[in-house]
Amino acid sequence: MAEHKALLEDAQGRLARARSMFLLLADEDAAAYEKLNGLMRLPEDHPDRVAAWAGAVAGALGPPRAMLAAASDVLRLCEELLGKVNEHLRSDLAVAAVLAEAAARSAAWNVAVNLPLVDEGRQESIGEETARLTREAAERAGRVEAGCA
C-alpha cells in the first residue's frame, strides 16, 4: 500500500471535504424547504408568493442537485481506490460506494419532488441530467462492489 500512499492521503482529504459538503447541503436543503413550504401556504396569486416563487424553487432544487453531483464524485473516487486499499478495507470501500449511491438516489428523489414546480422549459433537461447521474451512480457502485467482492 506504500505505493498508493499519496493517493490514499488525497482520498482522505477529498472524503473529508465531501462529508463537510453533504452536511452543509443538508442544512441548505432544510432551509430551502422551509422557505418553499411557507410560500406554498399562501394563495397562488399572493404578491409575496409570486415575487419569491422562482427563487424558492431554484433554492429547493439547488441542494439536492449538488448532493447528486457530490455523491457522483465520491463514487468516482471509490472507483479510483479499487485495488489500492488494504485488503481488509475492501468491505469499507464497498459500503462507501453503497452509501454514496444511496445519497445519489436520495438526492434524485428530492429533485423529482420539486421538478413539477420548475418551468416546463427546464424540467426536461434537469430530469434527464438527474436520471443520467443516478444511473451512472448505480453503475459505479456496482463496479466498486464487484471489484471488492
Question: What pLDDT does residue 1 have?
Answer: 63
Q: What is the pTM of this model?
A: 0.91
pLDDT score, position 62: 97
Residue written as grid cell 433537461: 125
- From residue 125, alpha-carbon distances to 16, 24, 117, 132 in Å are 31, 25, 14, 10
| pLDDT tens, the chain, 149 aa long | 678 889 999 999 999 999 999 999 999 999 999 999 999 999 999 999 999 999 999 999 999 999 999 999 999 999 999 999 989 999 999 999 999 999 999 999 999 999 999 988 899 999 999 999 999 999 999 999 999 99
101, 138 contact by CB (below 8 A):
yes
Amino acid identity for residue 93 in this structure: L
Amino acid at 20: S
At what angle are helices 5-40 and 47-81 packed, to 10 degrees?
A: 160
CATH code: domain of residue 67: 1.20.120.680
Distance between CA atoms of 87 and 85, rounded to whole angstroms? 6
Q: How many CB atoms lie within 10 A of CB 117?
A: 16
* pLDDT value of position 83: 92
Q: Which three cell numbers stand for residue 4?
A: 498508493
24 vs 43: CA distance, rounded Å: 31
Q: Domain range for residue 96?
A: 2-148
Name the domain count of the chain.
Answer: 1
